[in-house]
Structure 1
Amino acid sequence: MSSTAIPFTKKQCIGELISEAVAVFIVIAFGDSVACMYTLYDPSPYANAYWGVCISWGLAVTLAIYVTGSISGTHANPAVTLALALFRGFSWKKVVPYWAAQLLGGILGAVIVYALFGPVIDHYNLTHHLTRAEGGAAGVFFTHPGLAVTPMHAFSNEVILTALLLFGIFAITEQFNEMAPQANSGALMIGLLVAILGSSMGYLEAWAMNPARDLGPRLFAYFAGWGSSALPSPDNYWWIPVAAPLLGGVIGGGAYQLLIYPFLPARTKAKAMPLEKRDNAAAQGQRT
């Protein structure tokens, strides 16, 4: 009897969802931990080395891609999933399940960070006469506008940052882009892309660029005692790191497809190639 066997397609789907959850888990476990190191310690080991924070987030993304890329493609970001569905043929039926898995990964990543740094968070709040309900140390889990940035300005910022992120991801992963990184080095370049966005624009509102990165830990923090400082958060900010990256991802992916993709020489050559030769070239590319 094979009644207990899981059909391949179902098994594959489950594997992809687990992969997406694991990818975001890795990003949050390392990324929010470096936020703890930056915020909770005095003096901070990153006080004069903010690039270390950025490269840590970037390398967390790189590691997530190397761990899970062969299973799900490592979207690890609802904005990436949406853009790939719109412009790269990703199945629309998988979009919401991928989003759910990514959100779960964000929650579980925050759980691990709390397990590691919970006593340090409490010490920080005690030393600074803060409580969780007042938002003490909340910034290690989720984002909020920085100096002189209003919520609506933060919205436009996050649209721009995520558009730049997706524009870069589309370029790095484009099969017809002859200047794209070869072999498996694309994962490192995507990590460096995340790092450069953080180092150049991260102080605006902590460069969320990823609904699951912000909302997952925010949900955990809400139930872990931060309450209304997490949801709905001051100025009802919680929805901005969710909605703005989704919009920005569509804009960034669309901009690449409009401004760069139609003019790639390799794509033009492929279109001009007779259909039989095109199929043979594609098969040869798959073998190599």
Structure 2
Amino acid sequence: MEIEKATAGHGLAGTDIWSADDSNCSSTPLSDFSSQRYYKRAQSPSPMVEHEDFLIRPDIRGKDKEERETEERRRHIKISLYKRFRRESREPLSEMLGSALLIILGDGAVAQALLSNFEMGNEVTINLCFGFGLTMGYLTAITGGAAGHLNPAITLANCLFRGFPWRKLPIYVLAQVVGCGIGAACIFGIYRNAITAYDGGRRQVTGTLRTAGIYSTYPVSFLDLPGRAMQEFFATIVLVFFVNAVACQSSPHLSYKLPTEWNLIRALVLGLALYGIGASLGWQTGYAINPARDFGPRLVSYMAGYGREVFTTAGYYFWIPIVMPCVGAITGQLLFDFIVYEGEHDNFVTNPTMAVERLMENMRRNKKSLDADIEESRFDGTRKYSKRPLHEKKVAGTGA
């Protein structure tokens, strides 16, 4: 009764907070406290703080204070340039490293087989190494947070049909080309003495002692221009079918669906797919089916002393491994979506109106996200972000 009288004027009588049975604030019996102490606690803006158990019982104290202290410390910590660089460039660098591994293993197998007069390798080992290079490159890229495309044509198809951000397209393409170039440069540095011993120091693109095929692809002499284009076009369609078959397993007749955690199985299947393409469709043009895989190493061979002939030979063949894989990837994606695909993304065949709307919305959303990323990167030492719009200019004489 004394408790109810003491707290009646403060609107706290009858509430659960003062119930001896339901109280979460103390394990001490009610008789241990006088009505005067309860009256003081009721007047306090934080009645829980005066309780002695608040300091010793974590279930009462909770983590609010610790979280506030941690957030306060984080607010005053300035992120180092290294951490910012690593956070912002980890994805493209992972894609670049995966592309480099693809070329190191693939072109390395070509160099070893050719420079040893096919005593230390042959077409089987070359195709196997390209497949294993794709496996290791894919695993390395996705471990670093990248998509693991390793191919500008695949990236373009994913932007068009699978909602991959368009703002990442140039970044991924640049990372893939640079990565393939780095891989080719590594092979040139490793096998430089062997190449010199093979061709006598005279770098040749054509002829009996040609070694330019170590880096990029060149067609056989009897294949005409339409045949070269069709070869790369068709081989890329097959590659896209393989990629989609691994990524989209949604058939109702399957008793299982390969989980995304099984990335090793996916990588091995992709490697076997590339081996199959090379063993069946790789003879006439070298199955580039990847603009970065061909263009990056071709630039390296140009700088390594092979000259302009790497671009002019075979009737300026160099553009076919760049253009036709992109056309083949788009065509293959259209065919796959028309025949097989049923997923969360509307395709341009079954629902073109919705697909166009999704594409435009995706482009607008990516533009807003890019503006937000640029705005977020503009902060001072106190971590307070600038609220000034990006298009706003300083007014002369005002210091704004």
TM-score of the superposed pair, with normalisation by structure 2:
0.61
The answer to whether 1:30 aligns with 2:105 is yes
Q: 1:69 aligns with which of 128, 134, 142?
A: 142
Equivalent residue number for residue 202 of structure 2: 131
- Structure 1 residue 249 displacement after superposition: 0.8
CA shift at 1:262, angstroms?
A: 3.5
Cα distance per residue 1:219-243 (max 9 Å; x no partner) = 0111110111212333111111000
Counterparts of 1:63-102 in structure 2, within 5 Å, are 63-70=136-143, 71-102=145-176
Q: What's the secondary structure of 1:231's corresponding residue?
A: helix
1:119 aligns with 2:193: yes
Q: Secondary structure at the match of 1:233?
A: helix
Distance 1:180 1:62 in 2: 21
Contact 1:171–1:256 under 8 Å retained in 2: no
Deviation at 1:176, TM superposition (A): 2.3
User: Within the alignment, does 1:21 sit opposite 2:106 as a pair?
Assistant: no
CA contact (8 A) 2:109 2:121 kept: no
More helix by percentage: 1
Contact 1:20 1:102 in 2 (8 A): yes
TM-score using structure 1 length: 0.83
1:251 Cα shift? 1.0
Residue type of the alignment partner of 1:249: A
2:289 is aligned, of 209, 216, 235, to 209
Deviations 1:26-82 (A, max 9, x none): 0001100001122121243234xx222211110110011121214112010001100
Bigger relative contact order, structure 1 or 2 (CA pairs below 8 A, ≥6 apart):
1
Distance 1:68 1:149 in 2: 35
Identity %: 28
Checking the alignment, whether the CA contact within 8 Å between 1:133 and 1:227 is kept in structure 2 is no
Structure label with greater radius of gyration:
2
Task: Structure 1 unaligned segments of length 5 or more: list them.
Answer: 264-288
Tell me which of 193, 197, 217 is aligned to 1:143: 217
> Cα–Cα, structure 1 residues 121 and 181, in superposed 2: closer, same or farther, change >3 Å?
farther
The equivalent residue for 1:174 is: 248
The answer on 1:158 being equivalent to 2:232 is yes
* Structure 2 portions without partners, runs of 5+: 1-75, 344-400
Which residue in 2 is equivalent to 1:230? 310
User: What is the CA distance between 1:174 and its match in structure 2?
Assistant: 1.1
CA deviation vs aligned residue, 1:11-35 (integer Å, no higher than 9, x gap): 5551111011101100001100001
CA RMSD, 1 decimal = 2.4
- Separation in 2 of the partners of 1:256 and 1:8? 41
Give how far 1:6 is off.
6.5
Counterpart CA distance in 1 for 2:79 and 2:305 is: 42
Q: What SS class does the counterpart of residue 191 from structure 2 fall into?
A: helix
Q: How many residues align?
A: 259
Structure 1 position 253, deviation (Å):
1.5
Structure 2: distance between partners of 1:125 and 1:37 = 14
1:178-257 matches, within 5 Å, as 178=254, 181-182=258-259, 183-184=262-263, 185-257=265-337
Partners of 1:218 and 1:209 lie apart in 2 by: 14
After TM superposition, where is structure 1 displaced by more than 6 Å over at least 4 residues in a row? 6-10
Question: Whole-Å Cα distance in 1 between the matches of residues 250 and 85 of structure 2?
Answer: 31
1:106 is aligned, of 180, 187, 198, to 180
Q: In 2, distance between residues paired with 1:9 and 1:251?
A: 39
- Matched residues in 2 for 1:2 and 1:133: separation? 57
